[in-house]
Amino acid sequence: MSFLAVTTLSFGQKKDFTLDEIWSGGKFRAKSVYGIRSLSSGKHYTSIQSLDGGRKAILKYEYASGKVVDTILSTDQLKYDGKTLELSSYTFSKDETKLLIPTESESIYRYSTKEHNFIYNTKDQSVTPLSDGAKQRYATFSPQANKVAFVRENNIFIKDLSNKKEIRITQDGLFNQIINGATDWVYEEEFAFDKAFFWSADGKKIAYYKFDESKVKEFNMAKYGKLYPEDYRFKYPKAGEENAKVSIHIYDLEKASTLNVELSQTFEYIPRIKWTNDPNLLTIQIMNRHQSQLDLLLVNATSGSIKPILTEKSDTYVEVGDYLTFVPNSSDFVWSSERSGYNHLYLYNLEGKIVKTLTEGSYDVTDFYGLDDSGTLYYQAAEDSPLGRQIYKLEIKSSKKTKLTSGKGTHSAKFSQSKEYFIDNYSAANQIPQTILLNSKGKEVRVLESNAKLKATMDEYKTSNLEFMTIPNTEGGVLNAWMIKPDNFDANKKYPVLMYVYGGPGSQTVKNSWGYSNYLWYQYLAQQGYIVVSVDNRGTGARGAKFKKITYKQMGKYESQDQIDAAKYLAKQNYVDAKRIGIWGWSYGGYMSSLCLFKAADVFSTAIAVAPVTNWRYYDTIYTERYMQTPQENGKGYDDNSPINHVEKLEGKFLLVHGTADDNVHYQNSIEMVDALVKAGKQFDSFFYPDKNHSIYGGNTRLHLYTMMTNFLVENL
């Protein structure tokens, strides 16, 4: 009997997490459904699947049944010059008779890549290279599928697929000087796009950006791994410095001529351009340097005449979005604005008049998925709670709104082209991600990925629920927060607390969604006896413009005040050891964790800063000046809350981590921080990762980083 009792106890005992399991091997990796391409019928989609023998294929599925109805292409067919080509991605032509297959892809910055492209013709199953010579960027079929445009060495090329001729439509492209059809570093990072040319609907014109970055100052960083490290230089405009001069041009394929769009208005940025339903009308969005005014302009692509449509103004800054969408068979368009205090959707006509307010209320619309042919629009919103997201549809004519998703948590959608179906990626803080197919009425069709295997694995381990809570700040406000306690939590004991912060404009760490590897690390720390907490300070998202934009011209002030207030609140709880409260963060969070430790030595005993901004003077123009204006105009705002100017107050334990090849938040930030700390006579710990970028990953890197951070916490918190 005693043997049976021991066996039962052992069988029922749950395991502790290990760092190795969390950060290597993929044991806790949640599966999803990636790489789906909806076909024009709206009834089918395609996806790359692995086959026997290491082969891959693009399979065609039926949305309704999930059955494979055709094989579009397999690697058995994807051969050129006696070699089998890789199949990792693809793009259909609009008529779905051809595919672009990128091979040997190389990353450049956050989004940008270059590769050798091949064209697969589904009719004759031929495989041909797009172009000889150097790799291409952003290869894109014309709407008629008879041409492909691409960028190579900062110039735009067009390949005519019928006669195989290739022409270069720009001549002046030169590295670190002139860019045609692609963005510079700061546009890619901060305006979140990298392909900067666009076909008109009739395929007769291409509108494209030109960046003259000849006067932008260079940033350089060493790339190691060689006897003599490479000195890599690229144009990076820091706050207050000169930006690239940006212009828009329209190339007419039939006339073989280029129209230079003459923008008479004073502007600094062109964050978006987009063709209307009319193939001769192009919209251009321009902004001033402060990003406090955005003008939407209508350009005649033949004459070059310009007509202002609407203007958005703010006392702080105007957000740039991707919601501009033209209603099918109409000149009306959907537009988003925070003018009401929350981000909402509006219907405009080309005269700049509001036809209809589409959404309204004390909540933010957080994504827009487009319209179907009937004039019904689909969007995501934080209407129920800032902590979650739900999917809605709205019929423009009747204003009838329908919530398409259910279940508290976070839902994001990928719609079929016809909007008849959508894939719902759903998770909650304590619920493993699921991928579900629903129809346009919100009815579940089937579960695409339940992550049942991951759930079974997680059930073998000790976990503590992530609990949501609110914390007051000294301004009388309420901050959203979450807490993870040890699974054997005893309210009569005192526990150390680790706070996790990001805190940047419009961000959220307090969200009802699955936290992936960091969540598991927090579970690991809870098993070591720590309480883990995260708080969304003022300046974060989904709570309206006033809450978000209060930090304008003084980033760090209110954010750090709120984190310090939260730590003081936690210190008063009977179960918290007030002398052992630490804070950590990455990027903006590294900036915040440093600032909090330095400004509140009586509150925080420990901090970890990974890839932090240490003074906003070191960061780029578009992001920094959006929230701070320039250093020349607002020097006090820059310096008052820069951690580098508060190092003399350091009393606790501090770990500073950075990648030496960080093209985003430069390693310079940490070097200057180290210099300031040494001059102040302050002891600290630091570590650098050679040739790692802002994400600090690859190979054994993440395991090494999180092991180091864990050891630091165990020793010092």
Q: Which residues pair with 584 in a beta bridge?
A: 500, 608
**554 vs 201: CA distance, rounded Å:** 44
DSSP three-state, residue 149: strand
**What is the C-alpha to C-alpha distance for residues 637 and 626, in angstroms, rounded to an integer?**
13
DSSP state of 642: -
Residue type, 658: H
| DSSP count for the chain of H helices, then E strands | 12, 45
Annotated active-site residue 694? The verdict is yes
Catalytic residue, from 200, 587, 594, 605: name it: 587
Burial of 375 (0-12, 13-18, 19+ CB in 10 A): middle
| Candidates 424, 536, 662, 663; catalytic one | 662
Residue 237, token pair as written in the block: 């405009």
Q: Write phi, then psi, for 326 (nearest 5 degrees).
A: -90, 135
Report the C-alpha gap between 249 and 260 in whole angstroms: 5
Angle, CA 565 vertex, CA 559 and CA 570 arms, to 5°: 130
| Neighbouring residues of 9: CB distance < 8 A, sequence distance ≥ 6 | none
Distance CA 607, CA 649 (A): 13
How many other CB atoms are found less than 10 A from the CB of residue 220?
10
Distance CA 313, CA 233 (A): 36
Report the alpha-carbon distance of residue 183 to residue 195 in Å, rounded.
Answer: 7
b/e map 403-422, b = 16+ CB within 10 Å: ebbeeebbbbbebbbbbbbb
Q: Is 88 marked active-site?
A: no
Task: With residue 274 as reference, give the H or E element that holds it.
Answer: strand 269-275
Q: Please, are residues 246 and 211 in contact by the beta-carbon 8 Å criterion?
A: yes
Per-residue DSSP letter, 652? S
What is the set of active-site residues?
Answer: 587, 662, 694
